[in-house]
Structure 1
Amino acid sequence: MALDELILTSKHLGTTERLLVYLPERYSPLYSYPVLYVQDGDDYLSMGRLATLLEEMHREKEIPDLIAVFLPVEKKRRYDRYYPDGAEHQKYLRFLADEVVSAVDSRYSTHPLGMARTLLGESLGGVVSLFAALSYPHTFGQVACQSAAMDAALNRRVQESDFPVPLHVYLEVGLEETAVETSRGTLDLLQANEALRDILQTKTVTLAYETFAGDHTWGYWQANLRRILPALFG
C-alpha cells in the first residue's frame, strides 16, 4: 500500500515536517471523509501496523472509509513537543491545529467539522492528543488515548479546563501499568487514568473507558486498535 508523503514547512515550529497520509482504497474526491491524526506516526505504522489494519477493516466494511495522517516525531523532540510543559508544546499544538489540518483539508476531500477529526496517541502521545483537543475544541472532536502518561498535575489541568463543545474521549489502560518508568519517574498510569476517567465524567464528554490485561507495550496497543477503531468510527 502506498502512503502519500506531505512535506510542510512549519512557521510555528521553524522546521520542515514530514507527514504520511493513508487514503482508503475506494477514496474519491466526490465524497468527504473523516480524518484520524496519529501521533508517533512512524511507531503506529511499524509497530502498530495501523495502515494495514485500516485497509483490512475497510475491505471487510467493519468501519467506514477514513483518511489517516501519521505524524512522525524525532525521539529527541518528543518530550518537548508532547509534554504540556515541554519547550515546543504550544508551538506543536498550533502546528497541528493550524498547519496540519489546513494542509490536509486543502489537499483531500475531508469532513470540515470538528467531530470528523480524531486524535490518536499512546503514552505521551495520548497526553498531547488530549491537550490538543482541549486547546482546540472546535478543531478536534474525538480523542483516543492508549495508556496516556497522565499524572496528578496533568489531571488537575484537565479538571480546570473548559469544555465549550462536547468531546468524545476513548481511554484505555493496562491493569499492569501501576509502575511505568518514564522520563518523569515511575508513574501509576492505571490510577492516573482512573482519576482522569472520573474527571471527564463531570464534563461535557462522551466517554468510553476500557482496561486490558497487560502492560505499557506495543503488543497490547497494536492488538487493541481493532476494538478502538469501531468505537470511534462505527
Structure 2
Amino acid sequence: MAKRTIKKELVTSRWLNETKEILIYLPPGHETLTDLPLLVLHDGPDYFNLGRIVTQATPLIEAGELTPFAMMAIPVNKERRTSEYSPIGERQASHMSMVVEELLPLVRSRYPISPKRDDLVIGGSSLGGTVSLHLALQYPDVCSRVLSQSGAFLQQTIDEVMRQPSLSHLQIYQSIGLSEIAVPTHMGTLDLVARNREMKRHLLEKNAKVAYYEEEGDHTWGFWQRELPRALRLFFGQ
C-alpha cells in the first residue's frame, strides 16, 4: 500500500481573527499528478479521525475505484461552531469568506489542486452540511457540489434555497438516518428527517441534482463513517 501523505498548514485568518491548523491529504502518487479534485471538509479533523475518511478513501483510490483526489480538513473551535456554521450564526459569513478567499487560494498555490469549480466538493455533517450548502448558494461560481450528511437545515437555509431562481448547476449528496427525528442541538431539538425531506423537495423544485438516501442510522460518526464510501463514489468514482 502506497504511503498516504498528510500535510499541515497554519493559517491566520483575517476574517475570523484566529489561527487554524489545516490538514491536507494528498493521494498515493500525487507527486506525478496535477489538477487534483479537492474535497473540503468541515469538522475536518473529526472526518479524518472519527469518520476514518483517509483510511477509507486511500485503498479505493489505489484500487482504481476512485479518481485520485485531495482533501482539506478545516478545524473548528467547538464553542464557536454554531456561530460559524449556522445560518443564524454571527460568524458564518466570515467563515465562508475565509474558505473562499484564504483557504482555497492557499491550498491551490501550494499543492497540485485543480482550480475548476466542478473539481471542488465542499461537505460536512449536521451543521457542517448546512454551511457547505450555504457556501454553494453564496458562491455559485466557486462551488457547485455539496456533501451533506444529516444536514441540520434551519428555516433560514430553506428560505435561501427558495430565493434562488435556479439550482440546475448544483449537485448534492444528501443522507439522513431514520432515527434522527429528535436530535438535540444548540438551536433546540430538531427533526432532521423531516427537515431533510423538505430540503430535498425544495432542491428538486429548483432543478438541483440530488442524490438522496435515507437508511437506518442516528446522529453519530458511526453512521456517517459507514456511508462515506457511497458519497465518495458519487463525486469521485471512476
Q: CA 1:92–1:157 in structure 2 vs 1: closer, same or farther (change >3 Å)?
A: same
Equivalent-residue separation in structure 2 for 1:153 and 1:80 (angstroms): 14
- Quote the residue 2:143 is aligned against: 140
1:2 CA drift (Å):
4.0
Runs of 5+ unmatched residues, structure 1: none
Q: Secondary structure at the match of 2:30?
A: coil
Change over 3 Å in CA distance of 1:37–1:162 after alignment to 2: farther
2:28 to 20, 25, 30: 25
For residues 30 and 227 of structure 1, do their structure 2 counterparts lie closer, same or farther at Cα, with a shift above 3 Å needed? closer
Deviation at 1:208, TM superposition (A): 0.7
CA contact (8 A) 1:116 1:141 kept: no
Residues 76-97 of structure 1, C-alpha deviation per residue, up to 9 Å, x if partnerless? 1111100112121100000001
Residue 152 of structure 1: how far off its partner (Å): 3.1
1:82 and 2:66 correspond: no
Give the match for residue 104 of structure 2.
101
Name the structure 1 match of 2:13. 10
Shift of 1:31: 2.2
Matches within 5 A, 1:177-188: 177-188=180-191
Alignment partner, residue 43 of structure 1: 46
TM-score (norm 2): 0.94
Q: Which residue identity is paired with 2:186?
A: S
Aligned mate of 1:63, from 63, 66, 80: 66
Question: CA–CA distance in 2 between the matches of 1:174 and 1:30?
Answer: 37
Question: Match for 2:231: what amino acid?
Answer: I
1:229 aligns with 2:214: no
Q: Which residue of the partner structure matches residue 116 of structure 1?
A: 119
TM-score by length of 1: 0.96
| Partner deviation per Cα, 1:157-196 (whole Å, 9 max, x = no partner) | 2211354760111100011111111111111100100000
Matching residue's letter, 1:83? S
Cα deviation, residue 6, structure 1: 0.7
Q: C-alpha deviations, 1:15-70, integer Å up to 9, x for none?
A: 11210000001103552110000000111111101111111211111110000000
* 2:213 paired with 1:213: no
By how many angstroms is 1:101 displaced? Answer: 0.5
AA aligned to 1:58 is I
1:196 paired with 2:199, answer yes
Aligned with 2:98: secondary structure?
helix
Q: Deviations over 1:109-143 (max 9, x none)?
A: 12211111101100010101110111111111210
- More displaced 10-residue stretch of structure 1: 5-14 or 115-124: 5-14
C-alpha distance in 1 between matches for 2:167 and 2:211: 20
- Contact (CA 8 Å) 1:134, 1:163: kept in 2 or not? no
CA distance in 2, matches of 1:186, 1:104: 37
Unaligned runs of 5+ in 2: none
Cα distance in 1, alignment partners of residues 154 and 12 from structure 2: 33
Superposed CA RMSD in Å reads 1.4
Q: For residue 162 of structure 2, what is the aligned residue in structure 1?
A: 159
Percent identity, aligned pairs only? 35
Number of corresponding residues? 234
Tell me, in whole angstroms, the C-alpha distance in 2 between the residues paired with 1:162 and 1:11.
32
Report the AA paired with residue 30 of structure 2. Y
Q: Which residue of 2 aligns with 1:171?
A: 174
1:61 is aligned with what amino acid? G
